[in-house]
Structure 1
């Protein structure tokens, strides 16, 4: 996320959640308490409900973020964190990934059809704008397409309407690029075989807990992000082997 977008995002959160007490607390946490206290309009415009409060909040957030270490402090500050997670899940995910570094990067595989590429692009855009829960369905479609295209490219046969797990098993058994996976090949293959049950569970979650269907009970943010990161890790591994 670009600096300007971060400022706008955090400013919306503080406008929705901050009283003078939160400004005082975040000032102490970020080492900007004197700047906040001396600002001629920030707290005054907040207390009086003046029209220029939005601009003053933008100025304050921009000042706080001059120190890059304050990004984590702002993001993890409870009122901001709760508001972002509820109201701007896409921004929450993007900031969480930057702060924690835990998200597996997006991958554009070389072995995939146009529809598969479109599904993966949709998943990335939904992840960015609406959060991981909205991206699960399209990522599942992209992963399914990738596995099928990899079988086609290698001339591997599969059933008429194969599940992702059936495709994975066929690749593990027949694709030449997976015959030798280094000095601990059998251990790696055991991990990959186990990933078949993960892919099966992914399909169940996609059908029963994502926006693919009108499901009432959807995956929460953290669980959806787990599914996305595991799927991307599998995509990245197989894509590297098949190139």
Structure 2
């Protein structure tokens, strides 16, 4: 199901990218018959020709044709406020024909996030980090998004670096001095102590403290495993000439876990600062 408030331009872009990547001439004819725009497709002076010849202007012609495939009517006042289903009555049919969510999830995760809700909640992390002045998160977020689509090893390497950045920022470790050269497990232990999240900390006697400690232990394992995957060569950072390959679903799981842990520590840091 589409997210509420999706911009029509985003829908058109997503459909156009999927068509550009997947369609043959016969696909165009089949979908145009299903949506009632065959005449417009076959009479277009450049669309199918640019497809056949692999011309650079093909995507532009695809984007021009997508609103017709989606059943868009002439723009009217207030049309931007209409739902996708009323603005594009053929969307569900086109979506099913393209298997759009599955293709976007694998090939265009940023667009998938905008249309359906993202598998990696980086935006929420960025918002939390910006509010607290935790630096460099945006850079890691860009690398993670790009890596999930183009290079899973890069995404895992960036996820590990994201965790290091967040933990070091919480601990006030900046620059490249000797005091910053700490492994992730050490950073975790120090952050837990500073935030009062360890067994002997200020929150050690709170209700459900034992359950929270167990959950933190599980989070710690996620963090450490992310670092170990990167160090084992599945993530960038060690200059390996023959890096082992990790499947994209596992890379997504690693990144999602790393982002969740990073956001938890940022928000825990904010809560501690407010109570000081």
Which residue, out of 199, 211, 225, partners 1:187? Answer: 211
Shift of 1:191: 0.8
Partner of 1:168 in structure 2?
188
- Would you say the 8 A contact 1:17–1:80 is kept in 2? no
Taking the TM superposition and a 5 Å limit, the aligned residue runs for 1:11-160 are 11-26=16-31, 33-39=35-41, 41-42=43-44, 45-46=47-48, 49=52, 54-64=59-69, 68=84, 70=91, 74=95, 77-78=98-99, 85=106, 89=107, 92-101=108-117, 102-106=119-123, 107-108=125-126, 109=129, 110=132, 112=134, 117-118=135-136, 120-131=137-148, 133=152, 134-152=154-172
Question: CA distance change for structure 1 residues 180 and 100 in 2, over 3 Å: closer, same or farther?
Answer: farther
Q: Report the RMSD for the aligned CA atoms in angstroms.
A: 4.0
Runs of 5+ consecutive residues of structure 1 not aligned to the other structure: 154-158
Runs of 5+ consecutive residues of structure 2 not aligned to the other structure: 1-5, 73-82, 86-90, 174-178, 271-276
CA distance in structure 1 between the aligned counterparts of 2:146 and 2:183, rounded to whole angstroms: 29
CA distance in structure 2 between the aligned counterparts of 1:137 and 1:75, rounded to whole angstroms: 35
Query: Deviation digits for residues 16-36 of structure 1, max 9, x if unmatched?
Result: 4312432355457xxx61134
The normalised TM-score by structure 1 is 0.70
The size of the alignment, in residue pairs, is: 225
Shift of 1:103: 2.7
Shift of 1:168: 1.5
Shift of 1:141: 1.5
Question: CA distance change for structure 1 residues 126 and 62 in 2, over 3 Å: closer, same or farther?
Answer: farther
Shift of 1:149: 3.1
Shift of 1:180: 2.9
Which residue, out of 204, 220, 225, partners 1:201? Answer: 225
Question: CA distance change for structure 1 residues 188 and 75 in 2, over 3 Å: closer, same or farther?
Answer: farther
Question: CA distance change for structure 1 residues 47 and 233 in 2, over 3 Å: closer, same or farther?
Answer: same
